[in-house]
Amino acid sequence: MHRRHRVLVLLSIALAQIDIRTGEPEANLAKAKVFAAQAQEAGADILLFPELWLHGYDLEHAEEWAAPLGQGGFSHMSALARDHGLYLAGTALERHSEGISNTAALFSPDGDLLGAYRKIHLFPLMREPRYLVGGDHATLCDTPWGPVGLSICYDLRFPELYRAMAVAGAVLFLIPAQWPVPRLEAWLLLARARAVENELFVAACNRVGVEGIATFPGRSAVIDPWGKALVEGADQERLLVARADLKEIRKARRYLTVFEDRRPDAYHIGAGLGE
C-alpha cells in the first residue's frame, strides 16, 4: 500500500512565524531574507513560510500580484532556497491559463521546483471563491526524507485530502496558513488530528499580527506522529526549529496499525443490519 523509499531519517524543520504587511512585497521579502538566513544558521533542512507571505491577502489586487510558476513570488522562493541551501516552501498567487490560484510550492536547495499545489478548498470568509480558481488534485513532492504533501490553511478541515496523501506514502505535511484568533482552538486541534490519524509529521506555519479587524495568533507547530508538538510558537514573530526523527513514523504505525486496519471497502452507507 505504501511506496517504499530509501530516505534520510533526521529532518530539521524551521517555521518562519512572521507578521505579513499586506500589499508591501518589498518589506515582506526583506523579512523573509532575514528568516532564511536564521534558518540556515540554525542548520535547518527545510523552511516553511505562512500563506501568501509575500503580498498578504490582497486579493482585490490579485491581478497585479499574480505570476506564473517560476516568476514573482515563486522566483523569490527559489532564490531564497538556493541562496541559503534550504528546501523552502510557501504560497503565492499563481497566474495560469484558467485564472489565478493560491498555490503552494516546494523548492530544493538548488532552487528547483519540486512540486506545486493549487489550494483546493477556497475559503468563503476571505472571498477566495470570488477571486481565485481552486485546484483539482493533491501534490506529493519527492525529497531525501520521503514524499512531502502540500496543503494550505482551510484545507486543514478536510481530512480526506490528508488521508489520500498518507496512503500514497507521505511522511510530512506542510501547512502554511493565515488562521485568525477566533478559530485558534480549531487550528490547534486539527493540526494534531492530521498528524495522529495519519501517523506522520505535520509542519503548520501560521502568521502573527493584526490585519484590519483580524488578529493572527501564530501558534505554529511541528507535530510528531503521536500528536506531540516538538516546537510551538506563541503570538510573536520568531523562527521555530524542530528536529524530527522520521523513525517515529514506523514506531507509531507498528504500535497502532491504523493503515493495516483500514476498511475502505466498508466505508459506505448501508441500509441497516436487517434481520
**How confident is residue 4, by pLDDT bands cut at 50, 70 and 90?**
very low
Average pLDDT of the chain, as a whole number: 95
Per-residue pLDDT averaged across 92-102, rounded? 98
Residue among 164, 74, 153 at smallest CA distance from 119: 153
pLDDT tens column, 5-17: 456 899 999 999 9
Could you tell me if 173 and 162 are in contact, meaning their C-beta atoms sit under 8 angstroms apart? yes
Q: 11-262 has which fold?
A: Nitrilase/N-carbamoyl-D-aminoacid amidohydrolase (3.60.110)
257 — phi, psi (to 5°)?
-85, 60
Per-residue pLDDT averaged across 133-139, rounded? 98
Could you tell me if 152 and 117 are in contact, meaning their C-beta atoms sit under 8 angstroms apart? yes
Distance CA 222, CA 212 (A): 28
Residue type (1 letter), 16: A
Residue among 209, 148, 161, 157 at smallest CA distance from 186: 157
Going from N- to C-terminal start, the domains of the chain cover 11-262
Per-residue pLDDT averaged across 240-264, rounded? 97
- Is the pLDDT assigned to residue 45 strictly greater than 70? yes
- Is the pLDDT assigned to residue 186 strictly greater than 90? yes
- Is the pLDDT assigned to residue 274 strictly greater than 60? no
Distance CA 103, CA 115 (A): 10
205 Cβ contact partners less than 8 Å away, ≥ 6 residues apart: 15, 16, 17, 48, 49, 50, 174, 175, 176, 177, 220
pLDDT of residue 6: 56
Per-residue pLDDT averaged across 32-36, rounded? 98
Distance CA 222, CA 220 (A): 7
Could you tell me if 176 and 53 are in contact, meaning their C-beta atoms sit under 8 angstroms apart? yes
Positions annotated as catalytic residues are: 51, 119, 153
pLDDT of residue 271: 77
pLDDT tens column, 161-179: 999 999 999 999 999 999 9
Pairing of strands 201-206, 208-211: unpaired
Please list the alpha-helical segments (H only) found in 132-257.
159-167, 184-198, 247-255
Distance CA 266, CA 125 (A): 35
Global pTM exceeds 0.75: yes
